[in-house]
Amino acid sequence: MSDIILNTNVQTFAPDLMDEARLFAEYLNGADIFVNADISDSLRAEVKVGNSVRSFQSSTPQGDALEIKRLTKRFLKLALYDSLASYCGVGLPWGSLTGIRPTKLAYDYFSSGGSADSIAEYLTNAFRVSEKKANTIQKIINVQSKYVHDIKNGVNLYVHVPFCDGRCYYCSFPSADVNKNSAYLAPYVTKLAEEIREVVKLIKEQGKRILSIYVGGGTPSVLDAKMIAELLTAIDSNGVEFTFEAGRPDSITAEKLSVLKEYGVTRVCVNPQTLNNETLARIGRKHTAEMFYNVYESAKSYGFDLNTDIIAGLDGESVDEFKRTIDQIASLRPENVTVHTLSRKRGSVIAENDLKIFCADIAQMTDYAYEIFSSDYNPYYLYRQKYMVGNLENIGFSLPCKECVNNITVMEEMASVYACGAGSISKLVTNGAIHRHASVKDVKLYLNEFDTRLNSKLAFLCEK
Ligand code: SF4
């Protein structure tokens, strides 16, 4: 893959244009790109890719300065996308979109008077999103519409446990190795429980209600059963959706599952990522497919709703191996399945290595997952990340009426998140604006400066 050379006279938009050009990196073969635009009144652009030149124009954008900038960016990106797609002879599944949430565009379209039935058509016309992906967004919006009306005065409570037993090769989350930090576990749990109590007290004082609770990480199930009990005592779930991420099957025991049940957990994530033992060993997971099956059945016997995460595009895994995992997971019928596309995130082990990953293979994998799960599951949330292989997506499927409220309301930024723990990020959603507060990541600092930092977090949560 050669470097991308892009020249433009509209420097403000150069980073956005570069993001667009990167989507075509594997097809460009060193062709230079020039984008010359006049955006002073009506919008005009001339785009040259290699020897091919195309001209574009659009009427004068209307609105405040921010809106004008947004529409100008959209025009330039689409002009470049159309030129690159024509030069390279390919169309991309998500068209000119480079952002994380295609659903946000659908919601924006709604709020500007667009009709629910024409979302797919809008995405295809305005952004060149493929018909298939646009229809998926339309379905997701339909499923989510059930939840939009039931979030008034609601907030999500998030609890972060930043420890893992080793590191999966694709992961870039800042989690501490539980084996090197065992001395911090007990004090961390005690302080985290204290923080949860203070935050829950504040939620009540503010007259708000908890929509969902999510204990994530890291791997919260690396804590022993006693610590999990101490942590969960601080949470009165009151029957709301309560997820506990027991991501690694090797970290789960019957004793821990029994504690989760006792304290009101309703949903447990047991994530195999793949059911191919060779791949599991290659990506740094310490469990086998058999261990996953045992834990899955055990968790099922407690009556939890179960979520399983799968990743398409893992190092060295073939399309057929991926399909086998999908078939096996489908035969278990978990309430939720999330199919991720591998992302070469900075800081992960795989980002440093030259993996043999072919985008066409990944598209076959995600297409197969969609085909299998869309027969009796609903796609219900979707997001994209930077550095995703094949520029695809992560997509959550749910059995009807088993959608995870947390995934919808957090991902769509419909409700605030009151987050507790080192490395957690609280988000206040107020009148369309989002305000964030990041807690310190370092566990030692979290413990040593607990009171000061807690006060500053509570002050933030009271601000808006
Ligand atoms: S268990 Fe999850 S958080 Fe921990 S290293 Fe693996 S992917 Fe990352």
Domain ranges of the chain: 1-91, 93-133, 150-448
Mutating to test ligand 1, I would choose from 160, 161, 163, 167 the residue with most ligand atoms within 8 A of its C-beta, which is 167
Q: Is the peptide bond before 218 cis (omega within 30 degrees of 0)?
A: yes
* DSSP one-letter string for 373-399: HTTTSEEEEEE--TTBGGG--EEEEE-
Token pair recorded at residue 45: 């652009």
* CATH of the domain spanning 150-448, picked from 3.40.50.150, 3.40.50.1820, 3.80.30.20, 3.60.15.10: 3.80.30.20
pLDDT at 41: 85
Q: Answer yes or no: is pLDDT of 57 > 80.
A: yes
Mutating to test ligand 1, I would choose from 161, 163, 172, 175 the residue with most ligand atoms within 8 A of its C-beta, which is 175
Pairing of strands 6-8, 33-38: parallel
Task: With cut-offs at 50, 70 and 90, classify the pLDDT of residue 175.
Answer: confident
Question: Widest CA span of the chain, in angstroms?
Answer: 68
For ligand 1, atom 2, the nearest C-alpha belongs to 218
Residue given tokens 């609903």 in the structure block? 378
* Dist. CA 282 → ligand 1 center (Å): 14
Residue percentage of the chain with pLDDT more than 70: 97
More confident residue, 125 or 361: 125
Residue 342 DSSP label:
P
Residue 248, ligand 1, Cβ within 6 A: yes
Shortest-distance atom of ligand 1 to CA 247:
1
pLDDT at 135: 95
Q: Answer yes or no: is pLDDT of 71 > 70.
A: yes
pLDDT at 205: 96
Q: Which helix (H) or strand (E) holds 191?
A: helix 182-205
Task: With cut-offs at 50, 70 and 90, classify the pLDDT of residue 46.
Answer: very high
Q: Is the separation of the CB atoms in 253 and 225 below 8 Å?
A: yes
Distance CA 99, CA 19 (A): 10
Segment 2-8 shows an average pLDDT of: 87
* Of 80-94, 116-130, 358-372, 420-434, minimum mean pLDDT range: 358-372
Q: Is the separation of the CB atoms in 344 and 367 below 8 Å?
A: no
Q: Answer yes or no: is pLDDT of 209 > 70.
A: yes
Mutating to test ligand 1, I would choose from 169, 178, 180, 219 the residue with most ligand atoms within 8 A of its C-beta, which is 219
Q: Is the separation of the CB atoms in 341 and 388 below 8 Å?
A: yes
Report the amino acid identity of residue 151.
Answer: I
Task: For 184-196, write each residue's pLDDT tens digit.
Answer: 999 999 999 999 9
Distance CA 54, CA 325 (A): 45
Residue 45, ligand 1, Cβ within 6 A: no
For ligand 1, atom 5, the nearest C-alpha belongs to 167
Residue 160, ligand 1, Cβ within 6 A: no
Polymer length of the chain: 464
47: helix, coil or strand?
strand
Mean pLDDT of the chain: 93
Domains 1-91 and 150-448 share a fold: no
Q: Answer yes or no: is pLDDT of 359 > 60.
A: no
pLDDT at 352: 67
Segment 145-152 shows an average pLDDT of: 84
Residue given tokens 């489908």 in the structure block? 330
Q: Which helix (H) or strand (E) holds 83?
A: helix 65-88
Task: With cut-offs at 50, 70 and 90, classify the pLDDT of residue 355.
Answer: low
Q: Is the separation of the CB atoms in 197 and 418 below 8 Å?
A: no
Segment 260-270 shows an average pLDDT of: 97
Shortest-distance atom of ligand 1 to CA 285:
6
Q: Answer yes or no: is pLDDT of 110 > 70.
A: yes
pLDDT at 117: 86
pLDDT at 99: 79
How far from the centroid of its chain's Cα atoms is residue 56's Cα?
34
Q: Answer yes or no: is pLDDT of 360 > 80.
A: no
102-106, 242-246, 279-283, 410-414 — most confident range: 242-246
Task: For 10-28, write each residue's pLDDT tens digit.
Answer: 999 999 999 999 999 889 9
Task: For 247-258, write each residue's pLDDT tens digit.
Answer: 899 999 999 999
Q: Answer yes or no: is pLDDT of 373 > 90.
A: yes
Contacts of 198 (CB under 8 A, 6+ apart): 454, 458
Residue given tokens 């972060």 in the structure block? 160
Q: Answer yes or no: is pLDDT of 351 > 90.
A: no
Segment 126-147 shows an average pLDDT of: 94
* Dist. CA 167 → ligand 1 center (Å): 6
Assign domain 1-91 to its CATH architecture: 2-Layer Sandwich (3.30)
Task: For 285-306, write each residue's pLDDT tens digit.
Answer: 999 999 999 999 999 999 999 9
Residue percentage of the chain with pLDDT more than 90: 78
Between helix 319-332 and helix 359-373 the angle, nearest 10°, is: 20
Long-range CB pairs of 429-438, under 8 A, 24+ apart, other chains included: 430/464, 435/460, 435/463, 435/464, 437/461
Q: Answer yes or no: is pLDDT of 390 > 80.
A: no
Residue 247, ligand 1, Cβ within 6 A: yes
Contacts of 149 (CB under 8 A, 6+ apart): none
* Dist. CA 217 → ligand 1 center (Å): 8
